[in-house]
Structure 1
Amino acid sequence: MTAPNPSRTWFKPAAIGAVVLALAGIGYASFTASSAAPDVTFISITGDKISTQSMRGKVVMVNFWATSCVTCVKEMPQMVETYEKYKGQGLEFVAVAMQYDRPDYVLNFTETRKLPFIVAIDAAGDIARQFGDVTLTPTTFLIDKNGKIIKRYVGEPEFPVLHKLIEKELAG
């Protein structure tokens, strides 16, 4: 049996560390870099068609959620408060129910909680795919007046920080 080469014992952890750091950097960049929001048309639970193109000139939040998602249900009252606070200043809000969510559950949730914003169902999963293959809920995008994604939140956002960002974008 040969003794391990001491010059190679650090190689694997160092290589793994470098890969992890590189992937973290890419992940961070993809969450923070502003890119154009996809040109999609949401179909609301009332049958209305709303496109991202038609919302240009407004700050837009797109929230991917599901009735079975505990964090989504928990954050929804704060999403409602955020919308109510800023809608008069030009904030639009679209809550997109995931493909696997039952439409009757989404409708019941929307009605019982009196959600005041657009609620759409992504029946085929196309909208989630166009927003970068959203699979985790909640995932929320903040889009500026020019249609650029300026922030992506995976999980519940820190609402005071989100509000400051919304205020900055609405003022700009």
Structure 2
Amino acid sequence: MKNLPVVSLGLVVAALIGLLAYFTVSGGEKAPAVTVTASDGQTLNLNLPKKPVLVNFWATSCPSCISKMPDLAKLKEEYGDRFELLAISMDYDPPHHVANFIAANPYPFNFIQDTDGALSEAFGNIRLTPTTFLIAPNGNIVYRKIGDADMEFLHTRINQLSPQF
């Protein structure tokens, strides 16, 4: 009876570690139930995309965002149609700045202008850029990063989520 509090505390700690492992490995949080139309005309349901989707919130006023665009382009070129890459501009970014950037930088992925802030709100009211999410084919968010994304991790995870047939 004397050890009951210690045993109880141990069980609580074990349960918390188990939950953390579950959410880290399986990505327990679902992507928001939003449908987007990409710049190539393709419609994607983000909470059940059928293949991995990398969502990158960015702004033309964000030097880190701009400097990472070539790395994102290399990732898209390497994996091609095995995953989708959506670069979503922030609602505070002037649309003509975004349009000029896209015209001057023909990257091989889809750009979406979130002019009303609905997409950033759906992902938890994103305000800081870059913010990156990787959504698994089952709609679970398996990676979330505010700041520069870990490109090595993304390579590994996209490869795991989209095996080449």
Report the TM-score when normalising by structure 2.
0.77
Structure 2: any 5+ residue segments left out of the alignment? 1-19
Q: Distance in 1 between matches of 2:146 and 2:115?
A: 21
Which residue in the other structure is 1:145 paired with?
A: 137
Partners of 2:121 and 2:105 lie apart in 1 by 27
Q: Does 1:117 align with 2:109?
A: yes
Structure 1 equivalent of residue 36 of structure 2: 42
Alignment partner of 1:107 is 2:60: no
Question: Deviation of residue 150 (structure 1)?
Answer: 0.6
What does 1:69-88 correspond to in 2, within 5 Å?
69-88=62-81
Secondary structure at the aligned position of 1:171 is classed as coil
Listed as ranges, the matches of 1:1-172 within 5 Å are 32=24, 33-44=27-38, 48=41, 50-53=43-46, 56-88=49-81, 90-171=82-163
What is the percentage of aligned positions where both structures have the same residue?
A: 37
Q: Structure 1 49/84 Cα, relative in aligned 2: closer, same or farther at 3 Å?
A: closer
What is the CA-CA distance between 1:169 and the residue it aligns to?
1.1
Number of residue pairs matched? 143
The runs of at least 4 consecutive aligned structure 1 residues that moved more than 3 Å come to 43-46
The one-letter code matched in structure 2 to 1:40 is: V
1:54 CA drift (Å):
9.0
1:62-84 deviation line (CA, Å, top 9, x unaligned): 11000000110011110111111
| Cα shift readout 1:82-124 (whole Å, capped 9, x = no counterpart) | 1111123x21011100001111111111121112211011111
What is the distance in 1 between the residues matched to 2:63 and 2:151?
17
The residue type paired with residue 65 of structure 1 is W
Q: Which is greater in Rg? A: 1
Letter in 2 for 1:144: A
CA contact (8 A) 2:33 2:47 kept: no
TM-score by length of 1: 0.74
Deviation at 1:45, TM superposition (A): 5.4
SS of the residue corresponding to residue 162 of structure 2 reads helix
Aligned-partner Cα distance in 2 for 1:110–1:117: 10
